[in-house]
């Protein structure tokens, strides 16, 4: 198997994560009864000055959700592009893939602790795809160097 395949898998998983986060988390209506509605209304109703802008906790909650959506989308596109560049320039692609592998391991741990299993599992699968891409690329590097050695 080639590292490109696993980077494309990571890209697709990240895009799915982006869509489900947006639809299920950012844009979803409250589904857990009147207590949840009361909390959301309280978050929306109390406004305060933040560096010259009047904001509410809801503004921060919703805005951070949108930031995560944007970040996941950009990462999905980046992983797809890295699938192409790891073939032609593995030396510059591998550190980027390693950085995102570590990022997704951290995200999976945070999601497990503070959110729920679906994002934690998705992030763990993305991390696995990234580390497999790295491992396969390292194996390809080693096999190419063995072939080039003089007899």
- pLDDT tens-digit readout, 14-54: 999 999 999 999 999 888 899 999 999 999 999 999 999 99
**Looking at 2-11, 78-87, 120-129, 131-140, which range is the least confident one?**
131-140
90-114 and 57-88 are packed helices; what angle lies between their axes, rounded to 10 degrees?
150
Contact 57, 48 (CB under 8 A): no
- Token duo for residue 120: 């934690």
| Residues 136, 130 contacting (CB under 8 angstroms) | no
User: Which DSSP category does 116 fall into?
Assistant: -
Q: Cα 90 vs. chain centroid, distance in angstroms?
A: 21
Query: 31 — phi, psi (to 5°)?
Result: -125, 0
| pLDDT at residue 138 greater than cutoff 90 | no
Number of Cβ atoms within 10 Å of the Cβ of 21: 21
pLDDT band (50, 70, 90) for residue 142: low
**Confidence (pLDDT) at 140:** 66
Tokens of 30: 């409250």
């Amino acid at each position: 198997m080639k590292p490109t395949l696993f980077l494309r898998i990571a890209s697709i998983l990240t895009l799915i994560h982006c869509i489900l986060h947006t639809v299920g988390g950012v844009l979803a209506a409250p589904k857990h009864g009147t207590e949840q509605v009361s909390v959301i209304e309280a978050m929306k109703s109390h406004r305060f000055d933040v560096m010259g802008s009047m904001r509410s906790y809801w503004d921060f909650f919703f805005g951070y959700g949108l930031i995560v959506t944007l970040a996941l989308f950009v990462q999905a596109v980046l992983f797809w592009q890295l699938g192409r560049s790891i073939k032609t320039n593995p030396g510059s692609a591998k550190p980027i893939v390693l950085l995102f592998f570590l990022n997704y391991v951290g995200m999976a741990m945070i999601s497990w602790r503070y959110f729920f299993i679906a994002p934690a599992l998705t992030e763990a699968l993305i991390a696995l795809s990234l580390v497999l891409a790295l491992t396969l690329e390292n194996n390809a590097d080693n096999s190419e160097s063995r072939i080039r050695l003089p007899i």
